Structure 1
Amino acid sequence: MTVAHHHPLIRRGLAQSLGDSGEFTVTSYGDVDAVLAGVRARPDSVVLASRTLPGIDRLLGAVRGGELPRVPVALLGEAAVAHPSAVGLPPGVSGYLPEDADVRALSHAVHTLASGAAVLPAAWIQRAGATVSRGEPRETGGNLPLSLREREVLTLLGAGLTNQQIGKRLGLSAGTVKSYISAVYAKCGVDNRVQAALFAHGIEVSAA
């Protein structure tokens, strides 16, 4: 995967955190020319690029124009941005992620992008009433309709715990944990553990 950011501290931090997870081979670049050269050499890469990276339009143009048709690009930016219209997500972008997102959330997001789905802050999808990967309309309400125990289970899913670890942490049987996880999936509109973990970090998967 590729991290593209013009700020050296953020670039190094993201690359080191993702590399330390042991899930990816990470390359990082500070300018678009280097990114384009690197991605041409590794067209299976997922790119996390700063939305303010100088020349970002050239990278997205290469994706739109078919030069890099299979390269997912997610923009990195401020967590406080409330709506895609405030960012102006251009064609060729597969998602938007906060620069300060938890490394587990970023790792899940990279896997999701590689699968061909898009990732966006959950608040955007909920506010717009968009559909998620299951194709079901989302409620536009504010809070998730989860019970306290379901919220605890969702939090632990986001932390990467297994069913057995969740049961031990909460004092629940394996069957009860499965029931809670099924309820969390249904109420959050997700299909699997990765999507639930992303949702726990405020990132939602939308249909590709």
Structure 2
Amino acid sequence: MARVVIADDEYLVRAGVRGILASDPRIEVVAEAEDGRQAVEVVRSHVPDVVLLDIQMPGLDGLRVAGELHRLAVPTRVMMLTTFSQDDYVARALSSGAAGFLLKSGDPQELLSAVHAVAGGAAYLSPAIVARLITRLGPERLARGMAARERVAGLSERERQVLALVGAGLANAEIARRLYVVEGTVKTYVRGIFQRLGVRNRVQAAILAYEAGLVDPER
């Protein structure tokens, strides 16, 4: 069971997120917060597996909340909720200890997958955000793309398929269903891919998959 706290100053957003999470019996919303300072206290009190943090909140914004939780060594993992206009915060959020970044306008299933991934110790970055970041690289994009393609060239066809699905934001169970294999097989592939490519988590793997052209940025 993944225990979650929702922190957002807009009641309708909290209600929408709560409704989506309630559709999954493996997720329990244990508390909510409507500003940054309250979010810190609620997380310290309940110590959930995941806190969903809005970036822009009164009192303390999401970035400062993430930094404060990191400073206090609270074991709760942080996932930021954002809009496209706020993607400049991604690097700052990850450096503040955030384990994930998700668009508020994303698909409900993506929210559920992201919560399970982050609760399970993985990092999660919305594929739409990855695509936007890659697109904004400008002149560096070509060189990074060539380097990425060289890095994945040694992967087998199946490994490339798995990496592409990781880049598309699919959890291991979803990849297993897509490829008609058991989840344990996917875990083995993912672990091997991470080792061969020298990436530490699914966020880095997703970025590499986009840069190598394994995922369509327009999708």
TM-score range, shorter chain: 0.5 to 0.7
How many residues are aligned here? 176
Match of 1:108 among 105, 113, 123: 113
Correspondence for 1:99: 104
RMSD: 4.9
Higher RCO structure, 1 or 2 (CA under 8 Å, sep 6+) = 1
For 1:15 and 1:47, locate their aligned partners in 2 and report how far apart those are by CA, in whole Å: 12
Shift of 1:80: 5.2
Instruction: Report the Cα distance in structure 1 between the residues aligned to 2:135 and 2:144, rounded to whole angstroms.
Output: 5
Instruction: Tell me how far apart the structure 2 counterparts of residues 141 and 94 of structure 1 sit (CA, whole Å).
Output: 25
Unaligned runs of 5+ in 1: 130-138, 168-173, 204-208
AA in 2 matched with 1:13: G
Question: Cα offset for 1:95?
Answer: 2.6
Q: Which runs of 5+ in 2 are unaligned?
A: 138-142, 211-219
| Runs of 4+ in structure 1 over 6 Å off | 164-167
Q: 2:6 aligned to 3, 26, 34, which one?
A: 3
Aligned 8 A contact 1:43 1:71 in 2 = yes
1:123 maps to which of 116, 131, 136: 131
Instruction: Evaluate the alpha carbon distance shift between residue 61 and residue 17 of structure 1 in structure 2; reply closer, same or farther with a 3 A threshold.
Output: same
Per-residue deviation at 1:55?
Answer: 2.7
Q: Name the residue aligned to 2:34.
A: 30
| TM-score for the superposition, normalised by structure 2 | 0.55
Question: CA 1:154 to 1:47, structure 2 compared with 1: closer, same or farther past 3 Å?
Answer: same
* Residues 106-132 of structure 1: per-residue CA shift (max 9 Å, x gap): 222222222333322333775799xxx
- Please state how far the C-alpha of 1:140 moved relative to its aligned partner: 3.8
**Deviation (angstroms), 1:164:** 6.2
Q: Hey, which of these two has a bigger chunk of helix by percent?
A: 2
Q: 1:21 to 1:62 in 2, by over 3 A?
A: same
